[in-house]
């Protein structure tokens, strides 16, 4: 059995849910997973940038890597699907990614990694195929997995195990959604522990070029505006001043920072928020 490291991004992340997922993944893979809760106000935005970052983290190693498994679960219950949005999968080199079929999470992979297709699965079809060929599951157990509302616990780890084992999992190819509208507002994808705001676009798309005229952003505490200039890196920003830099996330994605301070606090920003009254 392959002991692959498993990383899970999930909005089912209360202590009870994390404990159950950790136990099930450990039992199936022989390794303790890393579970990253998506508990903020915009889990889709966080998942989109974090998934890009996880896959980028497997690059620039100078040699072969150990295959890993990445699980992404965003669980809307909008009534469009019988029991939640389907799960799909794809391979990034030797790394397996399983995700809810969430356009906002998957679209950046098409834009920046050239991912064109994912394999969409149907829970009942997959589990029934497994029960008929390689898994010891009774009809009642199949039905329990199919009907559960906690699919990221009961179904997704099994799907990952079976794919890693090379089982003939039935799936249907589907195109990755087109990139998001580039005319949409620039938004905060992630706020890090320093208060730096990781944005959802490359720096060049946000600011144009280093040395261009400053952007004027609205301060949170008094509603006034402050000029924010572009800089290459965080060390280039004068201490105590805000700036937009090429950050460490995505593929040259922008970060709104205050060197020695918190951009999130200065501008009153949370994950999912657009930049406040961004004008040039």
Helix %, strand %, coil % for the chain, to 5?
30, 25, 45
How sure is the predictor about 11, in pLDDT bands with cuts at 50, 70 and 90?
A: very high
Report residue 79 CA to chain centroid gap: 23
Measured on CA atoms in the order 72, 76, 79, 80, is the torsion positive or negative? Answer: negative
Mean pLDDT score of the chain, rounded to an integer? 90
Report residue 259 CA to chain centroid gap: 26
Which class would CATH give 188-267?
A: mainly beta
29 has pLDDT over 90: yes
**Is the whole-model pTM more than 0.85?**
yes
Higher pLDDT, 9 or 178: 9
Higher pLDDT, 209 or 31: 31
How do the domains of the chain map onto residue ranges? Answer: 6-175, 188-267
Residue with tokens 């990253």: 36
Average pLDDT over residues 220-237: 87
| Distance from C-alpha of 104 to C-alpha of 116, rounded to nearest angstrom | 14
User: What is the helix (H) or strand (E) element at residue 100, kind and residue range?
Assistant: strand 95-100
Q: What is the CATH number of domain 6-175?
A: 3.40.50
Identify the pLDDT of residue 3: 78
Judge if 6-175 and 188-267 fold alike in CATH terms.
no
How sure is the predictor about 153, in pLDDT bands with cuts at 50, 70 and 90?
A: very high
């Amino acid at each position: 059995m392959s002991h692959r490291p498993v990383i899970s991004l999930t909005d089912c992340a209360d202590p009870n849910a994390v404990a159950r997922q950790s136990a099930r993944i450990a039992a199936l893979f022989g390794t303790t997973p890393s579970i990253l809760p998506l508990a903020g106000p915009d889990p889709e935005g966080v998942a989109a940038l974090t998934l890009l970052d996880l896959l980028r983290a497997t690059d620039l190693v100078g040699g072969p890597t150990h295959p890993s498994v990445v699980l992404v679960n965003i669980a809307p219950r909008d009534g469009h699907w019988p029991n939640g949005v389907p799960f799909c999968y794809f391979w990034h080199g030797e790394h397996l990614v399983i995700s809810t079929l969430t356009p906002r999470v998957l679209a950046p992979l098409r834009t920046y990694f050239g991912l064109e297709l994912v394999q969409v699965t149907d829970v009942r079809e997959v589990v029934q195929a497994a029960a008929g060929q390689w898994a010891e599951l009774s009809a009642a157990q199949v039905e329990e997995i199919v009907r559960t509302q906690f699919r990221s616990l009961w179904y997704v780890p099994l799907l990952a195990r079976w794919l890693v084992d090379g089982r003939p999992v039935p799936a249907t190819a589907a195109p990755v959604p087109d990139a998001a509208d580039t005319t949409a507002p620039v938004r905060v994808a992630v706020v890090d522990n320093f208060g730096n705001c990781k944005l959802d676009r490359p720096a060049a798309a946000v600011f144009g070029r280093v040395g261009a005229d400053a952007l004027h952003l609205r301060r949170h505490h008094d509603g006034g505006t402050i000029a924010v200039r572009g800089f290459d890196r965080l060390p280039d920003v004068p201490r105590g001043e805000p700036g937009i830099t090429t950050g460490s996330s995505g593929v040259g994605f922008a970060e709104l920072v205050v060197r020695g301070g918190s951009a999130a606090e200065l501008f009153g920003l949370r994950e999912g928020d657009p930049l406040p009254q961004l004008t040039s």
